[in-house]
Structure 1
Amino acid sequence: ERLARETATNVDGFLGQLDSASLKGATALLAGARRVRVHGVRQFHSLASFLTYCLGMVRSDVALLDAPRLGVAEALSQLEPGDVVITASCAPYTRSVAEVGRIAAANGQKVIAITDSRSSPLVPPAQHAFFIPHASSFYSNSMGAYVVFCEALLNLVARELGDKALSSLAGRERLIAEMNIEVG
């Protein structure tokens, strides 16, 4: 019960500081970019994987930044100006995630940061930054509010894509049915 209440407080915390113009801008970038790459390590790898999977359901060319594990430098070198890189981390920040954001912005990619505070090292290179509290009695940083934020952002992107998102979802469902992937 306590963790649920703390997560609800963290959700209220990000809602209270959510910048609607930045949210609209990030939504447009994620809907319109040629390529989107998502980068988070350690605990944030799970969030990066979630974002990649769900965004990939409604649009093409979405991947973890370093999915083949060739290195982030190799992965960044394959991106072009205007592509989008999402970085995610909170205190204590992972240095490599902050560096990815800095280098991506310097190379012309649009950076979206999902982090915990305005003083986060992920913020300076980001075109859009979102601040999600993580205080809780969980033994690590609480991820609940981050997932809620990402679900809301993903819904906005799907709405922005409209029929393209519906078509993409229908195509995936067709393939899942053809390949007999699901049980029941």
Structure 2
Amino acid sequence: MSDRTDLAHRLESRYSRMSKGHKRICDYITQNFDKAAFMTAHKLGERTQVSESTVVRFADSLGYDGYPQLQKAMQEVIRNKLTTVQLIEMSGDIDKSEVLAKVLKEDMDNIRATLNETAQESFEAVVESLLNARRVYVMGMRSSAPLSQFLGYYLDFMLSSVRTVSAGISDIFEQLMHIGEGDVFIGISFPRYSNRTIEGMAFARSRGAKCIALTDSKASPLSNEADIALTAKSAMTSFVDSLVAPFSLANALIVAIGIKKKDEIAGSFRELEAIWDAHNVYAGGK
């Protein structure tokens, strides 16, 4: 169930049993979703002429663990439509002394939620698909580009043919020209979703490649195109995308493949270590 569907269901299914004050809050949220998502409990109470404690109880009655969780649910619904300016406004109420703790806590929450929501069968299916692929194409644009490069960099050490598709001189379709059956395409994108990555996955699918999505939810446009979708939470405190959980999930894929191919890659890494040492790639010697 998508974030929008889940929240709408909670509001609609409980509406008839709500108190007069709770109905006012529900009506306001339904009619002014974009505004309500940015309001504190105190501000929402003022706007709907109820107390702050009533707003908190309203959130609890919907099954959320307090108002901050309801607010986060509202923001998750609209985040793909938010402009950078609106995202900056989201961080306006954060106390400067709380920024470090708040950001790190949200990153920990994202990792915890990702672990709880990632099906082991799907994870293992992705690992097997990569191990059996003729070629692997990894694509992530804009803020997802570092994640794509990280995943592609390490996969290239372990798999026979890996290509990281990137924005550059050649168009993405030129880079994907030889993709076909037996190949795997990994599309990586988080809100706001990159149209180029969505187009790249659609093209890969049309050529018979197996498509894997690394994205934030099953409702993501990439999930709709993918054979297998792995989701990682990327809830934001501000205009900066949180890619901590996505990086952790990518790291888990790399480690899982490394374990499967441990004996095969040991020789390659011994050779690489000799090359790195001969050319002083790393500071401090061996």
TM-score, normalization by structure 1: 0.93
Q: 1:14 aligns with which of 90, 108, 114?
A: 114
Contact 1:59 1:164 in 2 (8 A): no
Matches within 5 A, 1:53-64: 53-64=153-164
Per-residue deviation at 1:26? 0.6
Name the counterpart of 2:33. none
Query: Partner amino acid for 2:247?
Result: V
- Are 1:35 and 2:124 counterparts? no
Moved over 6 A (4+): none
Deviation of 1:16 (Å)? 1.2
User: For 1:84 and 1:102, how far apart are their aligned partners in 2?
Assistant: 13
* Greater helix share, structure number: 2
Alignment match, 2:171:
71
Q: Could you say which structure has the greater relative contact order, defined with CA pairs below 8 angstroms and 6 or more residues apart? A: 1
Alignment of structure 1 residues 39-118 onto 2, 5 Å: 39-66=139-166, 69-118=169-218
For residue 160 of structure 1, what is the aligned residue in structure 2?
260
How many residues are treated as equivalent by the alignment?
Answer: 184
Identity score, percent: 28
- By how many angstroms is 1:68 displaced? 6.2
TM-score, normalising length: structure 2: 0.61
Answer yes or no: is 1:148 the counterpart of 2:248.
yes
Q: Whole-Å Cα distance in 2 between the matches of residues 168 and 31 of structure 1?
A: 17
Q: Distance between the aligned counterparts of 1:90 and 1:110, measured in 2?
A: 20
SS for the counterpart of 2:142 is coil
1:129 pairs with one of 215, 223, 229: 229
TM-superposed deviation, 1:43: 0.3
> Greater shift after overlay, 40-49 or 174-183?
174-183
SS at match of 1:118: coil
Q: 1:24 maps to what in 2? A: 124
Moved more, 37-46 or 135-144: 135-144
Q: List alignment gaps of at least 5 residues for structure 1.
A: none
Contact 1:55 1:154 in 2 (8 A): yes
On the 8 A contact 2:111/2:233 being kept in 1, the answer is: yes
3-state SS of 1:133 partner: coil
Task: State the 1:18 CA deviation.
Answer: 0.7
Distance across 2 between alignment mates of 1:66 and 1:55: 16
Shift of 1:150: 0.8
Cα distance in structure 2, aligned partners of 1:122 and 1:168: 34
RMSD: 1.6
Match for 2:224: what amino acid? P
Residue 72 (structure 2) aligns with:
none
Alpha-carbon separation, structure 1, partners of 2:241 and 2:279: 38
Matched, 1:177 2:281: no
| Aligned-residue offset at 1:171 | 2.5
The structure number with the bigger radius of gyration is 2
